[in-house]
Amino acid sequence: MDFTTLLYTPDKGVATITLNRPDVLNALTSVMRNELRQAFEQAGADDDVRAVVLTGGGRGFCAGQDLRERTDAPTPGVGATVRQEYNPLILAMRQLPKPVIAAVNGVAAGAGCSLALACDLIVAAESATFLEAFVNIGLVPDSGSSFFLPYLVGYARAAEMAFLGERVPATGALEMGLINRVVPDGELQSAAQALAGRLAALPTKAIGQTKRQLNLALAATLEAVLEEEARGQEMATQTADHREGLQAFREKRPPKFSGR
């Protein structure tokens, strides 16, 4: 299948999906979300693909929702967008019975951070950063961040990342257990491919079932948290603070939140 917003490259058992909107740090549009889900489905349907690498083209991994699609707040029907586009993508990644590795080459922000966290393993370049950017524009974590984050790093660190919306460098992310490995920038893709190649040579059906069991073992259901996130995002997009956050982003100035 031909994609317009990403590259899909199957090679020796590993499908590499490269987000390909580098000018906006691979910010997610509606088209991109749908293509990404299709790419994961394609990887799932191809028996020759036994591991997947997700990475970003250019200097960013993914800057989350493309804010240029969000001209005015409240965005109409954002809960539906989260339910119909973001949530199926996260579920497709997590339910894929094959290992998915994020090769985080730069900033992973907002839903871009969620995308990385939805992968099974995360390898990051030394210069990569992780940012729960939602609060900076008056929104709440979505796309599974509020499910994966406390599970990976514990409540206190999750709350700090989600409340403060500050960039966490790759080394800090490794220390807190958010990610698996940090490698020098120039070695990221080869390290991720080597790991994926290793995984692709393992018993794929057993790895797929292991992934299923590990996901089943998580305390709350992902579906329940995803639904709560969609409801919360619907609420957050109605706020004055989100409107202010979007405006400040466009005007390249710090936002002045009113608490409304």
> By the criterion CB under 6 A, which residues form the site for ligand T3D?
24-25, 27, 63-68, 70, 75, 78, 81, 107, 109-111, 131, 133-134, 136-137, 139, 142, 233
CA 69 from centre of chain:
18
Nearer CB in complex with ligand T3D: 15/104: 104
Least distance to ligand T3D, CB of residue 175, Å: 21
CA 34 distance to own-chain centroid: 14
Residues 6+ apart with CB under 8 A from 156: none
Report the nearest approach of ligand T3D to the CB of residue 97 (Å): 27
Residue with structure tokens 């639904």? 227
Q: Taking every pair of C-alpha atoms in the chain, what is the biggest distance, in angstroms?
A: 54
| Residue whose CB is less far from ligand T3D, 133 or 207 | 133
Nearest approach in angstroms of CB 196 to ligand T3D is 26
What does DSSP say about strands 129-131 and 100-104: parallel, antiparallel, or unpaired?
unpaired
User: Shortest distance, CB of residue 84 to ligand T3D, whole angstroms?
Assistant: 11
Q: 87-95 vs 222-236: helix axis angle to the nearest 10? A: 160
Q: Closer CB to ligand T3D, residue 137 or residue 199?
A: 137
Smallest distance from the beta carbon of 227 to ligand T3D, in angstroms?
Answer: 15
Kindly tell me which of 189 and 233 has the beta carbon lying closer to ligand T3D.
233
CB nearer to ligand T3D: give 193 or 233: 233
**What's the min distance (Å) between Cβ of 161 and ligand T3D?**
13
Give, as one character, the DSSP assignment of residue 103. Answer: E
DSSP string across 5-34: SEEEEEETTEEEEEE--GGGTTPBPHHHHH
By C-beta, is 29 or 210 nearer to ligand T3D? 29
Q: What are phi and psi of 26, to 5 degrees?
A: 60, 35
